[in-house]
Amino acid sequence: MTMTCLETVQAYGLRAIGIGENLLPKSDFTLCQHFTLIGSGMIWNLYFGTVALAFGFFLANALALAKAARNPWLRKPAEWFVFVFRGSPLFIQFFIAYETLVLLPRSGIEIFGLTVATSWLTKAWAGALLVLFLNTSAYAAEIFYGALQSIPKGDLEAADAYGISGWQKFRRIQWPTMLRLGWPAYTNEAIFMFHATTLVFFASFPAFRQMGDALYYANYFADKTFNPFIPYPIVGFYFVLLTLLVTGLFGWVNRRLNRHLPQNSRVRNRLRMNLIR
């Protein structure tokens, strides 16, 4: 029984989230199957990256402010959080999170007579997301903290001279400038956050019913066919597309953040290095 490519896409296009044909192909692998299944796995990479970045943005802002705070009760915890998550491999963080989460009682925790289920935390969609969220928050916090430190002195003095202070000064002067200065580095962080999502199913979180990410399926094909030259370049292809998309989207935000400035003093958005975590 051979399938046309359209049938393959219908059967496996959403396989990674459990919709469609349950049985993975076992032999006679076609190029179409490679592209479809690996592409279907990209749904997970997109999910992890997007959600972690979206929530991480807020925590990162809070952490950056806490790290810049004068009060040691705010500053010290933030410094340690950033150091621990930036100073250790994401791989180890995944292991620790998984081992901790499986230690929670299976039956759930009783709080005020209500039983809170815990088993969902050991699933990749929640547990790995939690780790990625905390990890990207730490990296982004360091970026925003650095940006906060490099706000031009003149801008702050001008705010004082206009009588803008406190929350107003933060909301209207410091925060937008911090974002503007930190944005190129943050773009980079976003790209590598998406790259880091490939680690999820290779660290300790098991893929439930063979529902894995792009690399999981690429690895499946490579294991079955003993041919690494087709599946891995396909993953690469998808990630290059994703990188271009992220660069475009963040570039658009960067242009908005810089739109009040004359052409020559804008912050350029350039891809920089910050690779494995």
Partner 1 sequence: MFSFCADPKAIEGLSWLVCYLTSAKHLSFYASFGTVLLLLVVTAPAALAFGFGGATAARSPFLPARIFGKTYIAMVRGVPDIVFFLFFVIALDQGIEYLKSLAVCPDGAWPWQGLEFRVCKEAKVPLATSSPFWHEAYGFMLAVVTFAIVFGAFVANVLFGAMQAVPRAQLETAEAYGMNHAQVFRRILVPQMWVYALPGLSNLWMILIKATPLLFLLSVEDIVYYARELGGSKTQAYEYPHGDWRLWYFLALLCFYLLMTRLSEGVLGRLSARLSKGQATAAGEAMRKAAA
Task: Write the CB contacts of 154 (distance below 8 Å, at least 6 apart in sequence).
Answer: none
Our finding on whether 89 is near partner 1 (CB under 8 A) is yes
Q: Among 228, 249, 255, 256, which residue sits at the site for partner 1 (rule: CB under 8 A)?
A: 228
Beta carbons of 81 and 63 less than 8 angstroms apart: yes
Token pair 């289920």 is at which residue?
117
For position 180 contacting partner 1 by CB under 8 A, the verdict is no
The mark string for 182-221 relative to partner 1 (x by CB under 8 A, - otherwise) is: ---------x--xxx-xx--x------------x--xx--
Angstrom distance (rounded) from CA 82 to CA 77: 9
What whole-number distance in Å separates Cα of residue 178 and Cα of residue 33?
A: 46
* Amino acid present at 29: F
β-pair partners for 111: 114
Nearer to partner 1, 61 or 238 (CB): 238
Work out whether 103 is an interface residue with partner 1 (CB under 8 A): yes
Residues binding partner 1: what is the number (CB under 8 A)? Answer: 46
Are 120 and 126 within 8 A, CB to CB?
Answer: yes
Does residue 96 bind partner 1 (CB under 8 A)? yes
Contact 180, 257 (CB under 8 A): yes
Among 227, 249, 252, 261, binds partner 1 (CB under 8 A): 227
Can you list the positions of beta strands (E) in 6-112?
109-111
Q: Cβ 172 to partner 1, closest distance in Å?
A: 30
Under DSSP, is residue 116 helix (H, G, I), strand (E, B) or coil?
strand
Determine if 38 is a binding residue for partner 1 (CB under 8 A). Answer: no
Q: Is residue 149 a contact residue for partner 1 (CB under 8 A)?
A: no
Which residues of the chain form contacts with partner 1 (CB under 8 A)? 27, 83-84, 87-93, 95-96, 99-100, 103, 191, 194-196, 198-199, 202, 215, 218-219, 222, 224-229, 232-233, 235-236, 239-240, 243-244, 271, 273-277
